Structure 1
């Protein structure tokens, strides 16, 4: 294989396969982790890599395509012949390479396969994979993490059972025959338990990112031809989402592992959209004998909204409830209101279009499941403390204050900082 390093001007194409169908986790590639859909997380990691020239998402799903474009990727629509459960990632990458070359007129020198299912892959790790090929002369490269565990296999078939007995002496094998289908050591002799520092270093393939010389990949048809470089990554960040439990674990880890798991600033946001009940109130309703309703709001929220208005940030109240108290509160705050809305996401999308605001530059604050469609539309979905569990899991940030207890003022402080008092 050719091991001459590529030049710094190599055209490096990152391909992110993202089918619409998923048996283990339905809708997986659009599932939010840290408030960001998995496919968008992968796109952001690739676009943030200094050595990546172009980023393509290969998909058969229109919703994934829209999210990918919004995140900054080109989209290649994958034909059904390579979109089924048995389709290989290699087939998707080859198709995307051809489609990208046809669209751009520039064939790739190096191609990357980056998986949506590894939510904590970083731009630096992707650059490391590229550098192994373009600068260090490898033909292929992929991410690995140090692994120190003893691996076992349940010897349930005859081959494994025979292998287990072959490893024993004659006397031991004779007494072990009835139990030969038990556990078999894979990366160790189970009769010897050396200390970790005395064992050879094992490396676990993370499944996150693979890099290949494009010509060699076309010729071989697989991602491990020639000399393969192993790019070490932080084992604390290694997680592949294959089951619902993996997704829940990723959401729990996101606040700890995301490099930018911080609250937004005014530089991140062009508009603020607020749910009403449970977000600006404590979600309780007081009803008098005549059926008139009243709610409790927080004066600090009013101050925060006034500061946002003074800063020039557009503010909108968006509510499903048709209730005079919502309109009255909006008049008091001097902000526009859309209420009695069944499809809040459609109303929000139309409002953004009418005002020339990109949805990915919108902060939307909510508390319950009817806010989730809006969460999927905006760049900064925010849950108030005490929000429904699934809402907090889908949020990119969560306030420390509860709805009706200063959550909106807290959001205003995120965005305005010292300018809040002006």
Structure 2
């Protein structure tokens, strides 16, 4: 299920529609603008704090750049470190003036300054840095509502099912009353459409309507409805752990993320095992295997994902485990050296795949190249820092204790999302 778009009828503030005013060549300059002041009081330097291994600013910049609908992507800031991060993620930088860098400065003041200093811009797409679950398709569809459907202003909303009541000040003597509910007839959730609330992800508008009305919600207005899972807004530190888990599940990881992983490669030692070797009284070495993980391998195979197990000549116990598992599941077993990438490159090419089509799970520093290249990559919770930094997903579970199952579920979730997207695309094409 994809977001729904709706227009708000009427022409606010008496502003005439300016969406069809174009440059002589017929092309309007559409610019993305992310405001990232350095003086955040709630979370110091919040905009470049790492969220799931990526600077907060990086999540929305990646979505904006990869949407391919902007003539320019900008970050407005007053801070040197934020400027460095912005440029490293492909953005131009607008150094805002001290007048619009105060605690009391509004977003609108900063946007107006940007427009005044960049007169070539015709459509301003203000994207909030604190909305890390933004995807390119959100941006594409919302921008098209301005550039193709003729709206002057488009903003993001989310549907909420919450009953609201009037606040009563202490000792005021007032009685509270409901805003959107009759207590005698409380509707079931499935019988109530709920209400649309701004989720803060973005506010898009034409320069003409901004200059005429003094805001980005005027003229011929439309809203763009985002699903709740994408509606994440970080204001205070307590939001951070929740946002981190949400972005790992619903965030946009870049162009190299496969719509469907065709092959999953798993290091046996440290991923399928917990790294411990047990000795029997007879001197035999043994390792343990979690049935959740073996079930996960079968789930991947059932969905058409080939599974390859990696072993090392230096670890004969894991080799024996992988061989036995291969007999039970049909997995391919590959023995790799100190640089797994060297041994895996020929296999990926032989199967006529690219690394973006591969999901990789490793547990050591030697896995970092593969973790970086793979479209989807993960490490167990107890992996070393170098591997964690290289992976796109860090499991909550340790190696041998369900980490493979967790990563498999993540892979299958992406596959499910891709199917939903394709199904919605077919519906949209049929409707139009």
**TM-score per shorter chain, which class?**
0.5 to 0.7
Alignment counterpart, residue 396 of structure 1, candidates 392, 399, 423: 392
Instruction: Output the CA distance in 2 between the equivalents of 1:5 and 1:94.
Output: 18
How many residue pairs get aligned? The number is 301
- Structure 1 window deviating more from structure 2 (39-48 vs 385-394): it is 385-394
- Three-state SS of the structure 1 residue aligned to 2:141 is helix
Provide the secondary structure at the position in 2 that maps to 1:138: coil
Aligned to 2:210: 217
* C-alpha contact (below 8 Å) 1:138/1:229 kept by paired residues: yes
Number of the residue aligned with 2:232: 239
Task: State how 1:91-110 maps to structure 2 within 5 Å.
Answer: 91-99=109-117, 101=118, 107-110=120-123
Rounded Cα–Cα distance in structure 1 between residues aligned with 2:255 and 2:140: 24
Q: Flag the 1:393–1:25 CA change in 2: closer, same or farther, 3 A.
A: farther
**Which one of 229, 232, 241 corresponds to residue 222 of structure 2?**
229
- Is the 2:59–2:252 contact (alpha carbons within 8 Å) kept by the matching residues of 1? no
- 1:34–1:251: 8 Å Cα contact kept in structure 2? yes
Quote the Cα distance in structure 2 between the aligned partners of 1:55 and 1:261: 16
62-71 or 120-129: which moved more? 120-129
Aligned to 2:153: 140
Change in Cα spacing, 1:393 to 1:203, as seen in structure 2 (3 Å) is: farther
Deviation at 1:310, TM superposition (A): 6.4
Deviation at 1:217, TM superposition (A): 0.5
Find the counterpart in structure 1 of residue 135 from structure 2: 122
Partner of 2:341: 308
Q: Which residue of 1 aligns with 2:42?
A: 24
- Does the aligned pair in 2 maintain the 1:56–1:73 contact within 8 Å? yes
Q: Structure 2 CA distance, aligned partners of 1:304 and 1:9?
A: 53
Return the alpha-carbon distance in structure 2 between the equivalents of residues 214 and 244 of structure 1: 34
- SS of 1:98's equivalent in the other structure is helix
- Are the aligned partners of 2:381 and 2:394 in contact in 1 as well (CA < 8 Å)? no
Partners in 2 of 1:395 and 1:154 — Cα distance?
Answer: 46
Instruction: Give unmatched runs, 5+ long, in structure 1.
Output: 162-176, 266-277, 285-296, 313-362, 369-373, 408-422
Q: Following superposition of structure 1 onto structure 2, how do residues 187-198 of structure 1 map, counting pairs within 5 Å?
A: 187-196=180-189
Distance 1:53 1:389 in 2: 40
8 A Cα contact 2:161 2:189, kept in partner: yes
Structure 1 residues 389 and 145, CA gap change in structure 2 (3 angstroms): farther
Q: Is the 8 A contact 1:35 1:393 kept in 2?
A: yes
Residues 318-329 of structure 1 aligned to structure 2 (within 5 Å)? none
CA separation in 1, counterparts of 2:44 and 2:315? 40
Instruction: Classify the secondary structure of the residue corresponding to 2:124.
Output: strand
Quick one: distance in 2 between partners of 1:262 and 1:397? 16
Shift of 1:261: 8.2
CA 1:383 to 1:136, structure 2 compared with 1: closer, same or farther past 3 Å? closer
Shift of 1:196: 4.2
Task: Say which SS state the counterpart of residue 256 (structure 1) adopts.
Answer: helix
Give 1:54-203 correspondences, 5 Å limit. 54-99=72-117, 101=118, 107-156=120-169, 180=174, 183-196=176-189, 199=192, 201-203=194-196
User: Which segments of 5 or more consecutive residues in structure 2 lack a partner in the other structure?
Assistant: 1-14, 259-269, 277-313, 320-334, 346-359, 404-432
State the 1:208 CA deviation.
0.4
In structure 1, what is the Cα distance between the partners aligned to 2:257 and 2:398? 18
| Distance verdict in 2 for CA 1:367–1:126, change over 3 Å | same
1:262-292 per-residue CA deviation (whole Å, 9 max, x = no partner) reads 9989xxxxxxxxxxxx99xx999xxxxxxxx
